[in-house]
Structure 1
């Protein structure tokens, strides 16, 4: 069972290098996203909302979503990929590469991949970790294009997809159909890439057993540490944040997901100096600040996303957390000069 998702997302230097190949300066993207320039080389990483803002800014600067997807996917040098992605290019075959990509995506949130092989098809659905928000259309398209490029570059075969489904508009669909080599559907219920199952057997000419023997144990150790290295407090809070939209998570539900009794869970939390009620309040508080930092969300939507059916109840809770109203806090913090950090009121 996976418990952990990193709090911050590190944007690999290769992303900025890829933009330079397209003639787009990193600082222009960051300014378009209305974020501090320190995120370009900052080791701390960015929040999910900031990560989505960067991709939306790239989309806005390029203009057409489809062209932005195709240009960045084909221009990106695999040498710039982080080790978690590099390992997939040296897999035994396309199936091995895709499975590695899905596994190691857990090290690079917020994307989450679910792979299903059935009949003559392999379906890959894209979902999001640690947030109920959907990522920008550009990020969805780039993710699917990267998966197809993985097969094309690794096998050195002109592979095509069977079908690509996007939940959002994608610009020039005809261009995307030419790139993916298949029909493109938009406005669907989920984001899904469907491949031919037989293509998964394509061996990779870039297969490097010796390199995988070095990379795989190190990546697996890192993944295991991130999955299980958190305290019970952090683990419970992460589960809460993931479940807030469905209402107020109760201790029985969380304990069941962790494979323990609610009494054992409460005892573990007490040992760490906290309680389930305190963590729920903290989870709602932290998610509220993250959602309010996204100007596209209305206040009533933020209230719903953190489990409040009544907007007035959210206002009262927020005032107790921050000593301010959600609307005034947003006006103070979201503007031309967005702070690099958000501090919770104590």
Structure 2
């Protein structure tokens, strides 16, 4: 399991409290995923993939794919898949976002929808009531928690990144909630300026991204849905190092060609020589980061029993499964088949299947 990508314990506590508020058995839920209550008490952070499995189980139990997010109502299971299918063939990110908003209008359950607003050189994605509602967003929603807002904006941001196959660099993330104690986590998560006590919850980014094509296909969507919501929950390490910023640009989607060092340096507003020098000061390199990111992603996907080796090869960007076999053995010392017979995998698999 990928233990390096983590979420703060405040996110885990929020999710579990929301579960208890809905009348679910917290103890039974944790036991079904082989999560110990004591581990939650002692931990400073929580593995992102395990958090994803927890989130996935809760959404299934609640029959609500928007659980823990801003929606104003329940979104039935399967709706996210249908929304993705309705936008995957859009000609650009802007076109996809308009289709997404339209989908929310006809999807039974939610009372608010994401809305795209263009303002000169920048674009803004915020939330508004669906057309059948005549109230303001504030009167539709219950008082939001900072975790609900963080989860909502982060997951939508990462979804946009996945659609265009690259990191969508934000200008700012706006929150209606008050400034939290863990501001640095928000800055690291969004890799941008973060403002609180705003009039709306929104993602602000250069409008030039709106013209970018949707690079995903129905084939890549199938693998994406099998791992959801993992890729939407976390895309960066929980620190402010340059390595984390590079990993944020790389993201978690390896089905597309990874950017060159020059492209990453440009995205960080520095020369490639400066990038290499500063990474060297952190005892790493761009190539090491790429190798480490791909290895962690491969192990994460290998820990999903319903993903076949061919599925994983596609998610990792390999045209042939045999090429993935060779790379996986280079990274771990085991073939994919040997890994899935190992004690580490079997222990992990047992926890998943018991759910």
Shift of 1:281: 1.0
In structure 2, distance between residues paired with 1:243 and 1:296? 18
TM score, norm. by length of structure 2: 0.51
The aligned counterpart of 1:344 is none
In structure 2, distance between residues paired with 1:323 and 1:331? 13
Partners of 2:252 and 2:297 within 8 A in 1: no
The aligned counterpart of 1:329 is 339
Please state whether the residue corresponding to 1:260 is helix, strand or coil.
coil
The aligned counterpart of 1:261 is 271
Partners of 1:245 and 1:304 within 8 A in 2: yes
* Residues 32/246 of structure 1: CA separation in 2 closer, same or farther (3 Å cut): same
Please state whether the residue corresponding to 2:240 is helix, strand or coil.
coil
Shift of 1:306: 2.7
1:216 and 2:179 correspond: yes
Please state whether the residue corresponding to 2:46 is helix, strand or coil.
coil
The aligned counterpart of 1:33 is 33
Q: How does 1:308-327 map to 2 (within 5 A)?
A: 308-327=318-337
In structure 2, distance between residues paired with 1:282 and 1:323? 14
Shift of 1:273: 2.5
TM score, norm. by length of structure 1: 0.52
Partners of 1:244 and 1:307 within 8 A in 2: yes
User: Could you say which structure has the larger radius of gyration?
Assistant: 1
Q: How does 1:1-346 map to 2 (within 5 A)?
A: 7-10=6-9, 11-35=11-35, 38-61=38-61, 65=63, 69=64, 138=65, 141-144=66-69, 146-148=70-72, 166-168=79-81, 177=108, 179-180=109-110, 195-196=129-130, 199-200=135-136, 215-216=178-179, 218=181, 220=183, 223-224=186-187, 227=191, 230-332=240-342, 333-336=344-347
Shift of 1:266: 1.7
In structure 1, distance between residues paired with 2:350 and 2:42? 14
Partners of 1:36 and 1:338 within 8 A in 2: no
What are the ranges of 5 or more consecutive residues in structure 1 without an aligned counterpart? 70-137, 150-159, 171-175, 184-191, 341-346
In structure 2, distance between residues paired with 1:182 and 1:215? 22
What's the C-alpha RMSD, in Å, of the aligned pairs?
4.4
Partners of 1:33 and 1:56 within 8 A in 2: no
